Structure 1
């Protein structure tokens, strides 16, 4: 019996009990410290047949294996070393004596720690099983015995719950009164970073005599120095974590050591082609065979990955050890890291067009799987002896992935870092020049997501935007590649709205001449979204939208299809077709979720909420808005969605008559919008809500002081007529309530003319409900008609002048 408890492994024990009832040779494999011996002992103890433990760890020669088994069975004195003696007679041969003894007996032999004498252990096991039908063998080894009839059962790391229980048990033995509740987060981190290896967990728990769980967790980067001090009575190779792994290392041949060292350059594992490309140098070992040997020896784990074959990884402890060994050979490590970076650059460039195609879903998953390796490649190309061109190419290959899957902040950090390594003034027109210009566009594009407008409205950014536009505006194949196609957005970021619209037209023409369908679709989509929200833009979108729908079906990219559905929804919403808008936004949501565009999903839900609000279904709008909030919270940093959702929440509160909540929601929306560059219509909406709340709190005169500047800002921002009309209708209501009926008629008539026959939403209709009858009764039919005609001729700028005349 052991002197401490056996924790966990209930499923493994049950499986082993079933195995031992029907199988004759079972080998428990796993890395050092995984608990193979304890598991074998407990399984054998519960087995109905007599069990004998044969400890092979102390043997120093394979020829001593049969004698060790004889000794365990009590048939002769212990012999740890095979001595030079005359050839034994058959009767004296230990293996022969074993066969004679076991031939007619039923028993279970536990051959423990076979890895350093694996061939001798395999030979003896095969002989016993062949000649002794009542014998079963349960072996523990870091690699299989490799004989017919063997069943291999890998001993996996402990799952979190039993790992925590083991730490708690050993921790209480090391420090009286210790429980996991002292610091559950630190204990969870320790067990996870130690890969659930029982020996490592026990060594860590022993450190509780000196350190707290958090101190232990914080020191695990130096685990081989930290995790020492195992029991004095166990073998030296089990007293420290380093000794455990050293034992495995010492059993490897040079080819296996070379591949294991080189595998440490991978982050997050690899597949076989990657291992062959990175770990082979054309003169060294056969990587596939050697990798298989390392898997057999439990130093590398092989796990199936979907339909893409096997994926190989090391436990963190083995990885750290291999990285130490690799660092001791710096020249080989540098060469391996360069091969790693080259392999994943090629992979990223292969994946980039495919994640924009109908075949994108498996490729997006592949890029996600290799993300840590791609980060490692970026680190290799930007640190030390930097390879700037490769780093730039990696950024271009990953740029769209960063945007699509919401790694935008991380992507911006990489582009900013790469820009610091990029020559500031490469000769104009050279490949280096275009790489720098495209990188500048990508950097601004990614930074815009998490920075306010003020960041880009500085002299430095205005100058940079001017240089970008000068380079891209003339049109060439270089201007029609992602991310260069986004160059018009630099005008939007720096506040040059008029240039933005003209530049979009130029970019569309450049892409028609030089780009593929996806690139053309992106700039057409951008132009369509802008036109919907722009003064005079709505009548122009139908041709672009029709072309976009054809491109989306041809390209197959779900993100493109989602954006086209969103644009169709916005058009329908602007034209008062709310059921149609809702259907389109629901299609956008379905596609965004399918492709994993997590930032798009809450925005689509919020647009569905707007469609419900516009149709007058306030309960459904509130429910959807809560759903959008919940989804946005899951992904964080979705400031534009949050600002828009808070504006909708303020509008809903106003409809419910809750001015206090409306004011709070409006404040939240402004706080969120200050963190990013927001479109003019969002600011206009917030200004209008402020005025309505002020009217309820302080009366119409106070509201009129706000509504004129609000309409002025919306006109300056070239907001769509629908937005301008909504502000004008609010102004008409305030004017009527302030006993200025003639001006109210003119404002309402102007708004109606700007709508050009398109209907008001249900809430907008409620704003002006009864105004015509009320003002006609005050003015009389003739004057009312004159004021209405005068108002219908007012331009938005004319109404601004009238409202701000005082």
Structure 2
């Protein structure tokens, strides 16, 4: 990890700056105008670089002029201690090579400014995360999700700074702001760590922050299929939201509890929760909440075999999502419509809806959504007598499910692959069904376990 320590030798007869990398960096640093040397050290706080706006917020001390910052950055670029690159969105980003950043970090530590600069960095990225959360509520998904992904390493560093200083309120604000980013981009493993640290503050957290952090924690636990934990988080968030008389918050948390109930096949409880959320959303004039409640009610109708009612509700939810520009909502509604059509053997319509959902999930960077769309497109191909195409689609979905750590999804992908190979290679199919059984057991998916066992018995009997 300490690159500079690896390069301490070198031919003694060469100039000092060529003997070691450290000597070269010392030489380059000494050539920098002393006025800009503190800037160089402060830039070490950025992981994988930062934008001009971020650098100004973090590195400029009160009283220093912005024009001095621009001159300083230009001087560091000229000295090859800093690189200016395009961050992919047309905005300039200033990046240090890893070894140079380590050297700058040593200077920052010796300067006595490290704690202050790290905390300014933490505060800036908290403000960015909270701005993103507001924008995501307004459906500006792609732009802001991409921006958060570009600065993911800086966000991690900011979270670590908050954890190092036991700033549970700041950690809770981060969780409340970032849960949707973690949820959509499937950063499940690291999210659970930050949730645990944030909620350690318990009752000492301000109630509005606690309510939102618990809500985000509920969805992240739901992503991991830890339904009992998700329900506990949602119930605590609901109590806090009711105490605050936050009717919008109440309507959102009711949908979270409804999702948990739906996932456990508690259809009557799920319907009651979604209907209560729908009524609140209508009262508040909240089109997004109304659309999600209709989507979930449509899924209940689908699960209970009422395809006509499911289609009506899902069509309405999709139209609402389209009208307000909520691409994530549109993607999931199209996916659900595709599943309804697939169960009705309307393959052309199913493929159309599922393909449209796949395009949206790809644009959003939603790996889990992509995986489910690919899984169902594979099922459609298999039922249409296209096993090779089905196998390719299921394998692609399996790779994504593995990437996001979804054992239930892995189970269904492996199950689909087994069905696709059962005719041509029964022995390979048996191995796939056995692997699917293991995945379903990890996910505690009773239906999956039952179907995998049936397929294992069927193939073994051939």
Normalised TM-score (structure 2): 0.86
Q: In proportion to residue count, which structure has more helix?
A: 2
Map 1:482-493 → 2, pairs under 5 A:
485-491=255-261
Checking the alignment, whether the CA contact within 8 Å between 2:338 and 2:350 is kept in structure 1 is yes
Question: Partners of 1:298 and 1:658 in 2: how far apart?
Answer: 59
The answer to whether the Cα contact below 8 Å between 1:549 and 1:564 also exists between their aligned partners in 2 is yes
Alpha-carbon distance between aligned partners in 1 of 2:12 and 2:255, rounded to the nearest angstrom? 68
**Aligned position for 1:752:** none
Change (3 A) 1:523 1:615: same
Partner SS, residue 267 of structure 1: coil
The correspondence of residues 54-65 of structure 1 with structure 2, limited to 5 A, is none
Confirm or deny that 1:343 pairs with 2:124: yes
Match of 1:159 in 2: none
Task: List aligned pairs for 1:693-704, cutoff 5 A.
Answer: 696=461
Which of 48, 52, 59 pairs up with 1:279? Answer: 59
**1:624 paired residue among 393, 402, 407:** 393
Q: Which of 435, 440, 457 is the aligned partner of 1:673?
A: 440
Return 5+ residue gaps in structure 1 as ranges. Answer: 1-219, 698-806
Distance 1:665 1:225 in 2: 49
**1:390 pairs with 2:164:** no
Contact 1:610 1:621 in 2 (8 A): yes
Report the Cα distance in structure 2 between the residues aligned to 1:259 and 1:530, rounded to whole angstroms. Answer: 57
Q: Which of these residues, 195, 203, 206, is aligned with residue 425 of structure 1?
A: 203
Name the counterpart of 1:295: 77
Aligned to 1:224: 4
Alignment match, 1:408 = 188
CA contact (8 A) 2:185 2:365 kept: yes
Aligned partners of 1:473 and 1:506 also within 8 Å: no
Alignment pair present for 1:512 and 2:293: no
Deviation digits for residues 479-523 of structure 1 (CA, Å, limit 9, x no counterpart): 258678524344467886653343233233333344743344344
Q: 1:572 to 1:238 in 2, by over 3 A?
A: same
Count of matched residue pairs: 459
1:369 correspondence with 2:113: no
Q: Is residue 441–residue 490 contact of structure 1 (8 Å, CA) maintained in 2?
A: no
What secondary structure does 2:336 align onto?
A: helix
Secondary structure of the residue aligned to 2:203 is coil
Aligned counterpart for 1:320 among listed residues 96, 102, 105: 102
Residue pair 1:354, 1:360 contacting (<8 A) in 2 also:
yes
Single out whichever of 404-413 and 553-562 deviates more from structure 2: 553-562
Residue correspondence of structure 1 range 224-243 to structure 2 within 5 A: 224-243=4-23
Matched residues in 2 for 1:482 and 1:416: separation?
A: 22
Partner of 2:366: 597
Q: Is 1:245–2:22 an aligned residue pair? A: no
Give the conservation status (yes or no) of the 8 Å contact 1:300–1:313.
yes
Preserved contact between residue 122 and residue 159 of structure 2 (Cα < 8 Å): yes
In the alignment, the residues of structure 1 paired with residue 171 and residue 138 of structure 2 have an alpha-carbon distance, to the nearest angstrom, of 24
Identify if the C-alpha distance between structure 1 residues 467 and 394 changes in structure 2 by more than 3 Å, giving closer, same or farther. Answer: closer
Offset at residue 300 of structure 1 (A): 1.6
* Aligned Cα root-mean-square deviation (Å): 3.3
Unpaired stretches in structure 2, ≥5 consecutive residues: none
**Correspondence for 1:547 among 309, 312, 316:** 316
1:273, distance to aligned residue in structure 2 (A): 1.2
Whole-angstrom distance in 2 between the partners of 1:311 and 1:584: 39
SS in 1 for 2:371: helix
Structure 1 residues 238, 618: CA separation in 2 closer, same or farther (over 3 Å shift)?
closer
Deviation at 1:432, TM superposition (A): 1.9
Q: 1:507 to 1:688 in 2, by over 3 A?
A: farther
- Alpha-carbon distance in 1 for matches of 2:405, 2:145: 22
Deviation per CA, 1:516-568: give whole Å up to 9, x if none.
433443443333334312x3654432342132122221232332221111111
Secondary structure, aligned partner of 2:94: strand
Residue 434 of structure 1, CA deviation: 4.0
CA contact (8 A) 1:403 1:446 kept: yes
> Larger relative contact order (C-alpha < 8 A, sep ≥ 6)?
2
Corresponding residue of 2:270: 500
Moved more, 496-505 or 247-256: 496-505
Deviations 1:179-226 (A, max 9, x none): xxxxxxxxxxxxxxxxxxxxxxxxxxxxxxxxxxxxxxxxx41x3343
In 2, the alpha carbon distance for the partners of 1:305 and 1:659 equals 50
Query: Contact 2:186–2:368 (CA<8 Å) still a contact in 1?
Result: yes
Q: 1:113 — aligned with what?
A: none
CA shift, 1:318, in A, is: 1.9
Counterpart of 1:610 in 2: which secondary structure? helix
Q: In structure 1, the residue corresponding to 2:10 is in which secondary structure?
A: coil
Identify the match of residue 573 of structure 1 among 331, 339, 342: 342
Rg comparison, structure with higher value: 1
Alignment of 1:620-769 (within 5 A): 620-629=389-398, 632=401, 635=403, 637-652=405-420, 656=423, 662-676=429-443, 678=445, 681-683=447-449, 685-686=451-452, 689=455, 696=461
Distance 2:297 2:369 in 1: 18
Distance in 2, Cα, partners of 1:495 & 1:469: 21
User: How far 1:580 sits from its partner (Å)?
Assistant: 1.0
Q: Distance in 1 between matches of 2:9 and 2:386?
A: 69
Q: What displacement does 1:269 show? A: 0.6
Q: Describe the shift of the 1:402–1:482 C-alpha distance in structure 2 as closer, same or farther (beyond 3 A).
A: farther
